[in-house]
Amino acid sequence: MTLFGHDLTDSARLRPLEPWQAEEFADYVERVRPHLAPWLPWAHFIVDADSARQFLQRYADTQSQDGGRIFGIWVDGRLEGGALFRIFDVPNGVCEMGVWLSPEVQGKGLVTRAARHLADWALRVRGMHRVEWRVTPANERSIAVAKRLGMRYEGTLREVFAFNGARQDLEIWALLAGDAPGSGSGSARHGDLAER
């Protein structure tokens, strides 16, 4: 299993999003900013190729230290979304994923496939113990993905996230290595990483 490039469908591919792609990423953010802005802080400050490059360079730097990393989702060769490990804490075996997608390509299972691939890689290949998903309670589509991944709801951090002029709650969903099929201690009901 590799993260260099992974086919999500015949026309969609998940692959690393790197600083040299800053202009393409900035154009993407500009194109879908109204859709991303209610949920993602970076949709407010990535306004040109320079700010996009700085953002992507931070992930390139953390990846070089075996930390967080960022990926794009291309559909028919056009950047239409992405996924990331916002946190990738190898010593503690904990990572946190995030995802986003253009409205034009929603409803095709791309986010679920991308997140499932990343979770599977983190748990099975990298030996992480815990994959987290943090989401505002209002983001029903994101919560639905967490459920499809077999994640368990663990609780809500009340007013922990200052964003868009208000303090917001964040729900915590998680998948443990023991929840995954084939681990010997989980069940498909709680952590089916296989394609559905």
- Quote the distance between the C-alpha of residue 147 and its chain's center: 14
Taking a C-beta distance cutoff of 8 angstroms, is the pair 4, 69 a contact? no
pLDDT of residue 137: 94
Kindly state whether residue 1 falls inside one of the protein's structural domains.
no
Kindly state whether residue 84 falls inside one of the protein's structural domains.
yes
pLDDT of residue 189: 29
Among 31-40, 89-98, 168-177, 185-194, the least confident range:
185-194
Tell me the residue range of the domain where 139 lies. 6-191
pTM reported for the whole predicted model: 0.86
pLDDT of residue 130: 98
pLDDT at residue 80 above 90? yes
The total of structural domains in the chain comes to 1
Which has the closest alpha carbon to 15: 93, 69, 92, 67? 69
Q: What is the mean pLDDT of residues 76-101?
A: 96
pLDDT band per the 50, 70, 90 thresholds, residue 164? confident
Kindly state whether residue 96 falls inside one of the protein's structural domains.
yes
Over residues 26-71, the pLDDT tens digits come to 999 999 999 999 999 999 999 999 999 999 999 999 999 999 999 9
Tell me the CB-side half-sphere exposure of residue 96, using CA atoms within 13 A.
8
Kindly state whether residue 196 falls inside one of the protein's structural domains.
no
Kindly state whether residue 102 falls inside one of the protein's structural domains.
yes
pLDDT at residue 190 above 60? no
In angstroms, the CA 131 to CA 83 distance is 13
pLDDT band per the 50, 70, 90 thresholds, residue 181? low
Sheet of 12-16, strands arranged across = 6-7, 12-16, 69-75, 78-89, 94-101, 130-135, 166-176, 152-163
pLDDT band per the 50, 70, 90 thresholds, residue 165? confident
Residues making up the chain, counted from first to last:
196
Q: Say which amino acid occupies 98.
A: G
CATH of the domain at 18: 3.40.630.30
Over residues 93-140, the pLDDT tens digits come to 999 999 999 999 999 999 999 999 999 999 999 999 999 999 999 999
Kindly state whether residue 82 falls inside one of the protein's structural domains.
yes
Kindly state whether residue 61 falls inside one of the protein's structural domains.
yes
pLDDT of residue 182: 47
Among 1-5, 141-145, 156-160, the least confident range:
1-5
